[in-house]
Structure 1
Amino acid sequence: LPRVAITYCTQCKWMLRAAYFGQELLSTFGTSIGEMALIPATGGTFTVYLTYRPDAAAEAQEVLLWDRKAEGGFPETKILKQRLRNHIEPEKKLGHSDTPSAQ
């Protein structure tokens, strides 16, 4: 742990999008991420889950970082990085990814 799982719709051909987000998170967080999983699904699914331990003594928690259906689309990369960072490395500076979004 931490484990990031990106579930994507194969019917929608979102594998490359899922892989892109995965490589962006791995490039930014490196070995702070213990595992990155790409999970094929159907039905327009695109979710990003984090499983981690908030501290060494805690039980593992699963947190939904993004759900395309609930959020109304795909994330900006920096939003996804911020959400992940807030759980696994709250003190980490993300450079330009820390600036507010235009949303």
Structure 2
Amino acid sequence: MKPVITIEYCPKCGWLLRAAYMAQEILISFSADIKAVSLQPSEQPGAYYIYINDDIVFNRKEYGGFPEIKIIKRIIRNIVNPEKNLGHIDMN
């Protein structure tokens, strides 16, 4: 069964657009590998998590900020389809 990716974001921090951008990029890169991407407003201030199914794969606070989208794509690729070539992202 294909995984579901959830992006949980803090709406009070104004991170909806960032979450929507990341969801779009994930869908473009992994449309054949995933079932869905969902956006979930958090009640926790400052929260920004990315889940694959129920497992947290990215936590903004632990990471120390927001990475470039290529980092997020690599994290997701390594879990949902490790053999997938990400093109120019893999060259950096």
**TM-score normalised over the length of structure 2:** 0.91
Query: Identity over the aligned pairs, expressed in percent?
Result: 43
Gaps of 5+ in 1: 52-61
Q: For 1:36, what is the secondary structure of its paired residue?
A: strand
Partner residue in 1 for 2:4: 3
Partner residue in 1 for 2:70: 78
Count of residue correspondences: 90
Partner residue in 2 for 1:39: 40
For the pair 1:91 / 2:80, whether they are aligned, the reply is: no
After TM superposition, give the deviation of residue 31 of structure 1 in Å.
2.8
Instruction: Show CA shifts across 1:30-68 (max 9, x none).
Output: 1311011100014010110101xxxxxxxxxx3322111
Aligned amino acid, residue 90 of structure 1: P
Kept in 2, the 8 Å contact 1:65–1:80? The answer is no
Instruction: Show CA shifts across 1:56-96 (max 9, x none).
Output: xxxxxx33221111100012111111111111111110011
Kept in 2, the 8 Å contact 1:66–1:75? The answer is no
How far apart are the structure 2 equivalents of 1:87 and 1:80? 11
Q: Rg larger in 1 or in 2?
A: 1
Aligned amino acid, residue 89 of structure 2: S
Q: Whose relative contact order is higher, 1 or 2, with alpha carbons under 8 Å and at least 6 apart?
A: 2
Q: What do you get for the CA RMSD once the two structures are aligned? A: 1.1
